[in-house]
Amino acid sequence: MSAVSSAEMAPPVAESAERGPLLLWLIFTGLSAFAAVLLWRYGMIHQMLSSDRTYISSVVVVLYGLTCVHCFWRTRAIAREADAARRCRAILTTGDAAKVLDGNARALPAGLVSDHIRSLVTKAATQAGGRIDQTLLLRTLADRLRGSNGFGGFASDTLMKLGLLGTIIGFIIMLAPIAGLDVSDKLAMKSSMGLMSDGMAIAMYTTLAGLVGSILVRIQYYMLDAATQRVFSDAVMLTETRVTPLLERP
């Protein structure tokens, strides 16, 4: 009785595990949006944008928003692939796997893992027996699963470098009045101090925006890469334990 109950409980657990990437992204993005609303409520974001005359902070905010949209699109795609891989595992585990593979795996749900299994079936039929080496096919599957995930690293580095660019520009603006500073002229001193304060504000705000944006992007794409790796590992386990042994059987 306990074995039956544990078997019945297995699919919902697996299903919740596969849907985890999109849920984690939504939780993380919700917390980030809540923090942004609080900062806007207390005027900190408005102060940052109004104090930055170079508009680098605004560019960082826009790029971060576009990167979040891309990460959501990729996370949703990986969640769908994980769900398709879970259904493939259920079909090949609970049903007649040999009959499914003999039918060219057409009963499998659409997805990259199913395409990989169909490629294995085609390779086994072409070489007519013997050991099936799926190394190259697994490399292709890994590349297709990763897709444009590398955009996250590019976006994170870009946000960081934009922050450093704002730091340099801010220090240039801050140090520029010192060259022609006349100590005896109080009005010029006051004007120079104002320019130095503006330069320091630009340097600090752009650096802060670049660092925060880069860290948040890194976290999002780290979760995405971890989910992608789990789907790939599940595909390797499925094909090595359920597919290739049947295809290599005489």
Q: Give the tens place of pLDDT for each residue, 189-238.
A: 666 666 778 888 888 999 999 999 999 999 999 999 999 999 999 999 98
Residue 228 burial class via C-beta count within 10 angstroms: exposed 0-12, middle 13-18, buried 19 and up: buried
In sequence order, what are the residues at sequence separation of 6 or more whose Cβ sits closer than 8 angstroms to the Cβ of residue 194?
none
Lowest-confidence range among 10-14, 53-57, 106-110, 120-124?
Answer: 10-14
Q: Give the tens place of pLDDT for each residue, 17-41.
A: 445 888 999 999 999 999 999 999 9
Of 102, 95, 96, 130, the residue nearest 117 (C-alpha):
102
Question: What secondary structure letter does DSSP report for 184?
Answer: T
Question: What secondary structure letter does DSSP report for 109?
Answer: P
Of 82, 106, 125, 107, the residue nearest 238 (C-alpha):
82
Q: What is the mean pLDDT of the chain?
A: 83
Q: What is the largest CA-CA distance in the chain?
A: 98
Q: Give the tens place of pLDDT for each residue, 97-130.
A: 666 666 655 677 888 988 888 888 888 878 777 7
Segment 54-71 shows an average pLDDT of: 94
Q: Which two tokens stand for residue 179?
A: 């060259």
Name the one residue in this structure whose structure tokens are 């240039």. Answer: 172
Query: For the whole model, what pTM was predicted?
Result: 0.81
Q: Which amino acid is at 201?
A: A
**What is the full DSSP assignment across 102-151?**
HTTTTTSPSSHHHHHHHHHHHHHHHHTSS----HHHHHHHHHHHHTTTTH
Domain housing 189: 2-248
Of 247, 248, 249, 250, the residue nearest 118 (C-alpha):
247
Please count the structural domains in the chain.
1
Of 96, 92, 121, the residue nearest 247 (C-alpha):
121
The half-sphere exposure of 115 on its side-chain side, counting CA atoms within 13 A, is 11
